[in-house]
Structure 1
């Protein structure tokens, strides 16, 4: 590959498809780098820039919102696989994934650009929320509910409220203070341990 970058071996029968998808992602990135607002990126313009037909894009995505969501997914760290060894371990894995996502957003100009413009594009934000944020949120809620059932977390509190307590510090440091350097290693463990200590069932 160009620049000596290593890439995983393509799956059999898929290299052409993956190459086309990468060309489309790079076309979107190039247009955004050139200052084209997200709201002005049409499927036709993306296809022309990528050197493919519009039908090629519509075979893969129902519209540009789905394309943009998949582009964001390709730039972010993968969703965590929960170890399942304890509620604490699952919560740490979830928060560590949020920490890595925050670091990726800081280091990727394209991620930063898309996220900063998403608020101006409600259809994209809704698509991202439904297909990416909500499944992750359900993972956290499931872990919190298991903690309540297993006696590790007070069960007299609303599970969504407790989940927000865990996620809040990571979102604060990622969204509200994006220029700070406080997404340090070990943050997930510190947040989970501090909260679990305070959320133990009352005697």
Structure 2
């Protein structure tokens, strides 16, 4: 439909303008008015799609990170490294590292916005990684009794920690190091060890 194509173009222009302005001035300086001027659209066109600046930033963050980053090809190590590298690259090559702390503060004060963030960014990405892990469990490559939520947290935590605190660089090896450490802990051999059995009691 012609109307739908026009909407898609407006959406893309607004999100691109938002990313550019976040790169230039950060979260605090962003406004719907500045986005409208940069995207060359009317403010009401933005408000019809996003009820607030914060909702717009959530969707811009989703676009920076990518929504389907972890493949499930049958090579779990390669798939997880691919998925974690997309996160690392987004933090290193976009304004995401500067935007996320301020956005997280807004999420803590706005339950509806937090739910939107979880649906749009967090849950969508997390489920693709969970799917790859479940497939590996079915193939016998990963122990069946793992705490899947903890494993998902462990895979992403080092990248987010460095991105937020900037105490160490987000170098290319971080995704590989993190994946290898997690896989060593959740392999069937590791899960069957006496130490692992004792830890689960």
Q: TM-score, normalised by structure 1?
A: 0.68
1:17 maps onto 2:10 in alignment: yes
Q: What is the match of residue 200 of structure 1? A: 187
Which of 94, 97, 102 is the matching residue for 1:117? 102
Q: Deviations 1:21-80 (Å, cap 9, x if unpaired)? A: 2685279549955954x6xx4x46754786643322134334433322223344446742
Contact 2:67 2:121 in 1 (8 A): no
Q: What is the RMSD computed on CA atoms of the aligned residues?
A: 3.6
Structure 2 stretches lacking a partner, 5+ long:
193-201
CA distance in 1 between counterparts of 2:160 and 2:23 reads: 28
- In structure 1, list runs of 5 or more residues that go unmatched: 1-11
Q: Which moved more, 1:91-100 or 1:62-71?
A: 62-71
Determine if the alignment matches structure 1 residue 97 to structure 2 residue 82. Answer: no
2:175 corresponds in structure 1 to 188
Partner of 2:197: none
Change (3 A) 1:192 1:16: closer
Take 1:100 and 1:201, find their aligned partners in 2: how far apart are those partners?
Answer: 31
Alignment correspondent of 1:9: none
State the TM-score, normalized to the length of structure 2.
Answer: 0.68
Task: Kindly state the Cα deviation for residue 132 of structure 1 after the two structures are TM-superposed.
Answer: 0.7
Deviations 1:170-196 (A, max 9, x none): 222223x32422x22233223222332
Contact 2:91 2:97 in 1 (8 A): no
Query: What residue is the counterpart of 1:152 in the other structure?
Result: 141
Distance 2:180 2:89 in 1: 19
Within a 5 Å distance, the mapping from 1:1-203 to structure 2 comes to 17=10, 20-21=13-14, 24-25=17-18, 29=22, 32=25, 36=29, 41=31, 43=32, 47=36, 52-76=41-65, 79-80=68-69, 82=71, 84-105=73-94, 108=95, 111-122=96-107, 123=110, 124-175=113-164, 177-181=165-169, 183-202=170-189
Identify, as 1 or 2, the structure richer in helix. 2
Partners of 1:18 and 1:163 lie apart in 2 by: 31
Aligned 8 A contact 2:158 2:178 in 1: yes
